[in-house]
Structure 1
């Protein structure tokens, strides 16, 4: 191309023409090389070492057993062991209730979950040979058992703490309701466990304000290692009532901390009656009853007779499950009585009838069924709610169609159809005059409660959410402009969380409110003042280091025109301190199930030697193919532009353009 431009049929053989020919040749050549972009291929050999994950228990039980120095020294020895570090890429992690990359070993965590960090490590290194060195006392305070967890990679357990078994008598569990009514007898259930061979006689007592309210003598033996004590106490006063349980200790008992425990119950002077009406049998009905029954402030009646005359004025809330035309008289009576109502729809619902039977909403439903996944609305502020992982719940079933509210409403849960999030409400609350109501547009919510049990290992989170909804709907009192929510008692070293909602003069949640909390220790009289921080649909203050004792507090607005009072107790109980000996049995089972071994921290040399000499942990050579460009396209492109520009200037200077 350069030749045809500057020499073909041209008689000009000047030096300028030769220079222009050369510049054009270089620019075209550079451009072609840039387009071709030649590469060379090479193989790179890499040595891949196996990974050794060192997982260290950072919980307070290690410190209570005075084993923190042994653990720290052992970890230090691993770091300076040249043979071990030459064979393995060693990663150090700590855990208590969750996995974290090791920074410092404080041994101050007050919860222990062993199974969760093991599962996280196995998932993280599922494609590599990565044995785990687990350094722990084996005592787990929450979560499912780890003893028979079969990991893909071997787990070597290093047992920390006293492995001898001592005679022990302890209170393992206390079951009591959160609420009771004034002058009611409320049940208390206490489980006592005994470790020992000799027959013993000991007493258990329950006290309130230094007064013994219950006492019983117990007998234990090798054949009778546990007892369940059930009794009733009477609620004499309104408010939070604290009780202390004490079982007499054994002679020379090593751990006496677990011989006592405290519990509290809130005594109220009100109770809501709730009526459930349904013409169909469905698992949702059982879920609703069990969830509501978890709050003893509520009484539930279930009826399938839709022709019966009910006294709706005696009920604070009426729940109508999948109403059809059979509910015609019921809706007339409810409207006449102006009762609060919670309507749950589903595949059996007659929407043509329902649209005419009530004034709250309408739906242009078609005969096609749809599955609706829940999406939590963080802006809902009618009452304090939290996301209990709704996005992971199974879908509800209902009819497809657009839902239109005829009254003021607020959405608790939105609908998600497949992967599309909509602004259509799945669960919503509404108000009309002095009435409150709610609509749940789908059936099979019983699966939500079961799924919450599987993921959280308890029904508590779901039941709390559902009962907050029921409490809101069944309440007939006018809004307080300042609402406060808190636990009446917490255990030492747990977070104390106080939540508040503030409403303006029109009873709309105020996101610009300035709330402060004044906290007083009743014993020391020490006071502290903290501001609330806004979190979604409520304000919150969190204390993480309160000492055991009784506290009173007040929540007030900036102008001090509105104020609420409360009190709570921090109980002197640390579950980590209840575990005096190492759980050798489960740690051996865990190691055996995964192909590892278990050893005491005082005898780790054979374990380290085995890890170094074990042939299954070999350095693997891998060959990786690398394609490398021969040129740097950025510089070559710049050179091409420079050559073309230089050629243009020269042609312009000599008048060849």
Structure 2
């Protein structure tokens, strides 16, 4: 006995190592994701996907369970593990479904993903961007019909959220047509049943995509709904995508414009009458001698014949810039170019010898991009009379944008006649001459109205006086909801 005890103690003193091994076999996980969106049943063989296909899918799942752990999901806009397939989803987000499945199985032995879908998605990113990042093979089961069907649809509507009462706002409608070459479709934009825009579109390609611009007028305050439609064509896959709607918030934009002038001039009356033809603007007239200097209540400052060499305007332009008040200066022949340059209009003038004035007609710069002018204005400008401008060589800064260049006689030059500048969000414009009242009179003489001149002034005022939405509390809700 003593020998056994001593032998046991000696054995333990040697520090024996005991090893226990338990082996557990975990089956690889196979994730099955079934697209539950309604586009699956839009194929001609929709009955197959509601009956035989579901039976075969269930058989596949049972067979795989012999060797794998199976997780079954359906998805449309979200992932669901109930696996109840009724093809009722209105949106399809394949990328979110893949990401959510992988997130639920982090650090687990995922062997494969089986994705059964028609590949149509209207939310999220393209699933092809994700496939190579997941580290597991993704096997796809192609559903639906890969044949390109005849269809006409509204693919996208681009617009701003806000517009101002009385102003025009742009809308771009992107349409697509497949296998409808040679057909004509009619695009309409309606509000409360009234057709605001109509255009016939000639489909000249079997795979046709076109963006149609439209310009609408904001007539009512508040959130306004606009309905877009494409006339249905024979043989379309579905007419449901021929219709869409969008919403615009219309704000009351009545603004006050201050006109300060050195002395009376026909230009002042012409500009005032043009601005006041739009009921959203109120014009206040002041000469330099009776202006109090208060700029706080105005949205735009227009000056005529200023700054001048006598300094009659004082530091008006400097104070306007300090208050971030946009300026449109109509520079008469007596303008002080030294002061104008310091005011930040983006231009420098070097007067030439001899006569200090010359006559110049407007020549429209075609690549001017700050705002657009209608074809009526572009055509009318070519015949407008010359105005009196300084006889000088002008140098514009890179930030400047030239609307009109000078035409001397019949010769087009690269010298600016009307220029715009925006530096760090501050907007200004300079018309390098006086006598633009002649353009308004000539417009009436040729066309019987002032529409071309008024549009030119209106676009200038709108661009300069456009305000950012400074409401401190803004709530944006969804424009559309799935039914």
- Provide TM-score, normalisation by structure 2: 0.48
Identify which of structures 1 and 2 has the higher relative contact order when contacts are C-alpha pairs closer than 8 Å and 6+ apart. 1
- Provide TM-score, normalisation by structure 1: 0.36
